[in-house]
């Protein structure tokens, strides 16, 4: 069914789905790349803006549209900003897993990655009383063993891969293989590419116009709606929680809600719908005999 426009079995009355997802990285994604960045007061403030100022503004936008979103929260962020995470929960949004301190999972062995997953789970449970069903790998960096680790811990879905336009059921190969739903993402639907700029840390050196981002994302939304697909926006409160960018999300939600049969909801709800109707499960096979 995947890859063929119009073939995904949404429920009756639904033509396509859309989710706004927020990665509440805060300081963690800077600290894990360079622990020395803790000494940079301005950089730390730029990142803490996310949970302190961005999250309350974004919650207001979501409230105005009566839309339930998904917030991926690293465990360390939850421990540093418990009130922000509880406010997300109190507003009825989904809190999902995003590492403990936004660790780079690239090349990690199974044991170490399991340790980070468990540490993140404990933090979310302790701070917000939440046992997440969804996972997004920091930097969208999955390992071949990650799906198995997630399924073993009771996760029902992942949203880190970039290999389709609609949800699908996947299974890990090898012993103990298990199934979970993948809800794919796309770099052109990530605010990092548009707005991330911090000298000496990250970014392209260009902060795009929020209106240009709105134009891009609107075209993605209407095209995916026409195709019966799934629109997943990834945004960061330290970027999209700022005034003009939050205004753009407000306008985007207006558009999404105006599209006939567009189901605007959380990833957990999309995954719950997809689980019984997707299939058969796809196994991701690692390439062998690589000619280099």
Provide the binding-site residues for Zn ion, judged by CB under 5 A.
23, 25
* 246, two tokens: 């939050």
* 64, two tokens: 């105005």
Closest to Zn ion by CB, 141 vs 269, is 141
* 155, two tokens: 């996760």
CA angle 10, 16, 18 (to 5 degrees): 115
Closest to Zn ion by CB, 25 vs 191, is 25
What gap in Å lies between CA 97 and CA 136, rounded to an integer? Answer: 6
Q: For residue 187, give the DSSP letter.
A: G
To Zn ion, the closest distance from the beta carbon of 243 in angstroms equals 22
To Zn ion, the closest distance from the beta carbon of 17 in angstroms equals 22
Closest to Zn ion by CB, 29 vs 259, is 29
- Per the listing, tokens 């026409």 go with 226
Closest to Zn ion by CB, 25 vs 220, is 25
What gap in Å lies between CA 259 and CA 229, rounded to an integer? Answer: 13
To Zn ion, the closest distance from the beta carbon of 140 in angstroms equals 8
To Zn ion, the closest distance from the beta carbon of 172 in angstroms equals 23
To Zn ion, the closest distance from the beta carbon of 289 in angstroms equals 34
Residue 275 in contact with residue 269, Cβ under 8 Å?
no
Closest to Zn ion by CB, 57 vs 97, is 97
Helices (H), the chain: 28-31, 41-49, 55-65, 75-80, 82-90, 110-128, 146-152, 191-195, 210-227, 237-240, 243-258, 267-277
To Zn ion, the closest distance from the beta carbon of 192 in angstroms equals 8
Q: For the CA atoms of the chain, what is the radius of gyration?
A: 18
Closest to Zn ion by CB, 10 vs 71, is 71
Closest residue to Zn ion in the complex (CB):
23
């Amino acid at each position: 069914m995947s890859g063929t426009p119009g073939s995904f079995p949404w429920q009756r009355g639904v033509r396509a789905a859309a989710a706004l997802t927020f990665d509440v990285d805060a300081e963690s994604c800077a600290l894990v790349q360079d622990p020395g960045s803790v000494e940079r007061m301005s950089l730390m403030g730029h990142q803490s803006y996310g949970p302190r100022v961005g999250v309350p503004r974004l919650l207001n936008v979501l409230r105005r549209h009566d839309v339930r979103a998904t917030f991926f929260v690293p465990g360390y962020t939850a421990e540093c900003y418990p009130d922000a995470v509880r406010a997300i929960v109190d507003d009825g949004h989904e809190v999902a897993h995003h590492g403990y301190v936004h660790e780079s999972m690239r090349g990690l062995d199974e044991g170490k990655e399991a340790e980070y997953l468990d540490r993140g789970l404990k933090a979310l449970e302790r701070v917000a009383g939440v046992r997440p069903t969804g996972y997004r790998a920091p930097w969208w960096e999955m390992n071949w063993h990650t799906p198995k680790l997630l399924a073993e811990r009771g996760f029902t879905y992942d949203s880190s891969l970039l290999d389709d336009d609609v949800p699908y059921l996947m299974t890990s190969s090898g012993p103990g293989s298990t199934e979970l739903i993948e809800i794919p993402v796309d770099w052109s639907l990530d605010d990092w590419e548009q707005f991330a700029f911090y000298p000496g840390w990250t970014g392209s050196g260009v902060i795009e116009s929020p209106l240009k981002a709105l134009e891009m994302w609107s075209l993605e939304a209407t095209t995916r709606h026409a195709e019966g697909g799934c629109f997943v926006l990834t945004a960061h409160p330290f970027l999209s929680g700022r005034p003009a960018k939050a205004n753009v999300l407000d306008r985007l939600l207006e558009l999404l809600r105006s599209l006939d049969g567009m189901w605007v909801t959380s990833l957990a709800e999309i995954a719950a719908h997809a689980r019984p109707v997707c299939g058969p499960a796809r196994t991701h096979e690692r390439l062998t005999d690589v000619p280099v």
